[in-house]
Amino acid sequence: MAYYEANKISYEIRGRTIFKEISFQLEQKEFVSLVGANGIGKTTLSKLMIGIQKPSGGEIRLDGVPVSEYALFEVGRKVGYLFQNPSCQIFCPTIMEELLFSLRFQGGETPEGRDRAVEMMRRFSLLDAQNSPTHCLSQGEKQRLALATILMNQPEYLMLDEPTTGLDQVRKTELGHYLQEIHQSGVGILMISHDQDFVKQMSQRILRLDDGGLYEED
Amino acid sequence: MKKIEFDPRTKIFVVFFLSTLAVMFSDWMSLFRLSLIGIGFGLVFRVPFHLLLRRFSKILLVFLGLIIVQSIFIHEGEALIEVFGIQILTVVGLQRGLGYVFRVGIVLLSGAILSTSSMRDLLQALQQLKVPYVIGLMVAIGVKFLPIFVQEVQDAFVAMQLRGIDVKHLRMKRRIQVIAYLFIPLILSTLDKAERLAATIESRGFRIGAKRSQYRKLQLKRQDVICMMIVPMIMLLTQN
Ligand SMILES: Nc1ncnc2c1ncn2[C@@H]1O[C@H](COP(=O)(O)OP(=O)(O)OP(=O)(O)O)[C@@H](O)[C@H]1O
Ligand SMILES: [Mg+2]
């Protein structure tokens, strides 16, 4: 059984069909990329997959259970989601608080939690910025913080909506290393991206969304 | 039949009366009559009632709660429902609750009446009514950005739950703490937006108080005059 299974899902909004009867399967340990033109529905598809939006037809199963049967927080504990704009998922004034945020509201901070947060800061090169207020962080730093925060939850799967936008070449290579590392630790990844080279270099499979539907690229 | 278009000033006039009276009245009968009249005007101005109803039905449950709380804590009037000696629903509680429902209904209706005119027309109307331009501008910006704020709060709430936080089952104190955090991204993005908006406006040469000449002028028509004359008369009838 695949980790994610979409069966003939369609999505309509305000009388407009964004996509129709799309089916696909994703394995839990795969690194898959989703590509396609602007406005074709990639972000929408990923939102259907975590249940923020509901398909108008068909069904998506996560780990064998329809997504619609999970509460949002349950999906969140399995799947980490990096928004196209990371600002909307940063809530706390400092990096440390932000990393510990979900622990605080899920049973409380522990010394191990703090150690893990420090480890995350080191891994994502956030130590230099640790005293800057989060809203002043640069785009790249915000993104790394958002990613680090998601990983604090130890998800089994990651969805990344255009993680390379706004990153320079060095940071992009760095992100590539982080992602590879995360993938090797057993976390599956679905990455939405417009960056051809990055996609080719990173992914095991590439899915292309266009007007006709969803295709596998080789 | 040709659709009759009303001047935005007429709508402002009606809304002014409706909302002033809604605040002044406190007995539910007057408020009820006022709501009926409001609905009448809503029909005349072609308010999209289905949208209004959907919004209203969402908060109706809150009012139900209010009615019960009123009944429990104000020991007045005859009890309609009593459980173990506690008055769950009393006549006075019901009347007050209905009063609230009508009052909020009228306020929502007033908003809906105003939004049947375009923002451009309403601003023009305010200007011709000699309301200072700054106020008109603030109102216009506020109205325009409100849906965006609502959307942003919803997005932040989703992002928070995706962090694995079960907001619905937290204890009250923790829940309030967590919800307070929702406003941090909102406030920051608002400040950011305000800054950018101000820069954009100024870079386009806009100055408050600068002399502007305009081509468009709103003209009161016969239906507007009639409507404005009728309004005070009808409103007088609602008083007890
Ligand atoms: N709430 C909405 N109301 C109306 N249309 C919407 C809404 N949300 C998305 N759309 C439309 O759905 C289409 C797909 O949007 P989506 O954000 O999924 O595209 P995308 O593939 O992620 O594009 P990009 O590469 O630019 O991020 C767009 O044409 C968009 O206009
Ligand atoms: Mg997108």
pLDDT by residue (tens digit) across A132-150? 888 888 888 898 899 999 9
User: Per DSSP, what are the bridge partners of residue A16?
Assistant: A13
Q: For A149, name the nearest residue in chain B, comparing CA atoms only.
A: B163
Residue A118: CB partners within 8 Å, gap ≥ 6? none
B-chain residues within 8 Å CB-CB of A149?
163
Q: Collapse the DSSP code of B107 into the 3-class scheme (helix H, G, I; strand E, B; otherwise coil) and give the result.
A: helix
The domain limits of chain B are 1-117+220-240, 119-209
Domains defined along chain A, listed by start: 4-91+154-216 (3.40.50.300)
Closest residue (by CA) to atom 14 of ligand 1?
A: A41
Contact of A208 with A42, CB cutoff 8 Å: no
A78 is written with which tokens? 């399995």
Partner A contacted by B188 (CB < 8 A): yes
How far apart are the C-alpha atoms of B155 and B158, rounded to whole Å? 5
B-chain residues within 8 Å CB-CB of A93?
184
Contact of B178 with A105, CB cutoff 8 Å: yes
Q: What is the pTM of this model?
A: 0.72
Contact of A152 with A188, CB cutoff 8 Å: no
Measure in Å the smallest separation between the Cα of B176 and chain A Cα atoms. Answer: 12
Pocket of ligand 1 (CB under 6 A): A 13-14, 18, 36, 38-44
Q: Where are the alpha helices (DSSP H) in B86-214?
A: 91-114, 119-128, 133-162, 172-203
Partner A contacted by B174 (CB < 8 A): yes
A-chain residues within 8 Å CB-CB of B188?
87, 135
Q: What is the predicted ipTM?
A: 0.85
pLDDT tens digits in sequence order for chain B, 240 residues long:
467 788 888 888 888 888 888 888 878 888 888 888 889 888 888 888 888 888 778 777 877 787 777 777 776 666 666 667 666 677 777 788 888 888 888 888 888 888 888 878 888 888 888 888 778 778 778 777 877 888 888 888 888 899 888 888 888 888 888 888 888 788 888 888 888 888 888 888 877 767 777 777 788 888 888 888 888 887 777 765
Q: What is the 3-state secondary structure (H, E, C) of B7-64?
A: CHHHHHHHHHHHHHHHHHCCCHHHHHHHHHHHHHHHHHCCCCHHHHHHHHHHHHHHHH
**Furthest CA-CA distance within chain B:** 71
How far apart are the C-alpha atoms of A164 and B61, rounded to whole Å? 45
Contact of B177 with A108, CB cutoff 8 Å: no
Closest residue (by CA) to atom 28 of ligand 1?
A: A39
Q: Collapse the DSSP code of A94 into the 3-class scheme (helix H, G, I; strand E, B; otherwise coil) and give the result.
A: coil
Closest residue (by CA) to atom 25 of ligand 1?
A: A38
Contact of A199 with A176, CB cutoff 8 Å: no
Interface A–B counts its CB contacts (< 8 A) at 65
Partner A contacted by B154 (CB < 8 A): no
Among candidate residues A212, A210, A211, A206, the one with its CA nearest the CA of residue A26: A206
Contact of A44 with A11, CB cutoff 8 Å: yes
CB atoms within 10 A of CB B21: 20
Pairwise CB contact (< 8 Å): B167 & A89: no
pLDDT of residue A78: 93
Q: What is the 3-state secondary structure (H, E, C) of A164-211?
A: CCCCCHHHHHHHHHHHHHHHHCCCEEEEECCCHHHHHHHCCEEEEEEC
How far apart are the C-alpha atoms of B174 and A106, rounded to whole Å? 10
Q: What is the 3-state secondary structure (H, E, C) of A53-75?
A: CCCCEEEEEECCEEHHHCCHHHH
> Average pLDDT, stretch A81-95?
87
